[in-house]
Amino acid sequence: MTRIVWNQTRASGRRTSWARPFDRIVEGVKGARAFVHGGGDWGYLGDGVETELPEGTLILEVRPTGSVKNGSQLARIFRVVRKPWSKEDNGFELITGDYDWRKGYLSLVDAAQALLRDAPVAGESDPLADYTTEELLGELERRGMARL
């Protein structure tokens, strides 16, 4: 689990967006598609509240832009990552560009489905990650495979 703090307010104190984690997209009876989060107590991420999420969790953020009269909403997708080089040792990274929440919703859903399809399964790790490079090269030599 990785601890993150989601900040979504401006210096004026006005809340600028809403965000929530999701792990699948479901299709309704009439073909409508929605972002859904699975188990756990995940809900909307509170502003400035520390939350524990598994590494690799996708977060949907929607924020208003424009004026009151000619406003629109833009959506982006972030992924929870561990950042061992940073002081906080956690965070999130932006993985998609801005999508118009109303006009580009289907494109956003397609991008999210591609991310979910390519995402590693939780708890599944690389079996070779526990071995050093020297140990792996030694095993290849032992099996008679030529060194590159």
pLDDT tens digit at each of 148 positions of the chain: 677 777 766 656 666 778 888 888 888 777 777 777 766 556 778 777 777 777 788 888 888 887 778 888 888 888 888 766 555 545 777 888 888 888 888 888 888 888 888 766 555 566 676 778 888 888 888 888 765 5
Is residue 147 in some structural domain?
no
Is residue 107 in some structural domain?
yes
* 96 contacts 67 by C-beta, under 8 angstroms: no
Domain that holds residue 23: 2-142
Is residue 32 in some structural domain?
yes
Q: How far apart are CA 60 and CA 30, in angstroms?
A: 23
Place of tokens 């833009």: 74
Number of domains forming the structure of the chain: 1
> Who contacts 47 (Cβ-Cβ below 8 Å, separation ≥6)?
6, 7, 8, 9, 15
Is residue 148 in some structural domain?
no
pTM of the model: 0.67
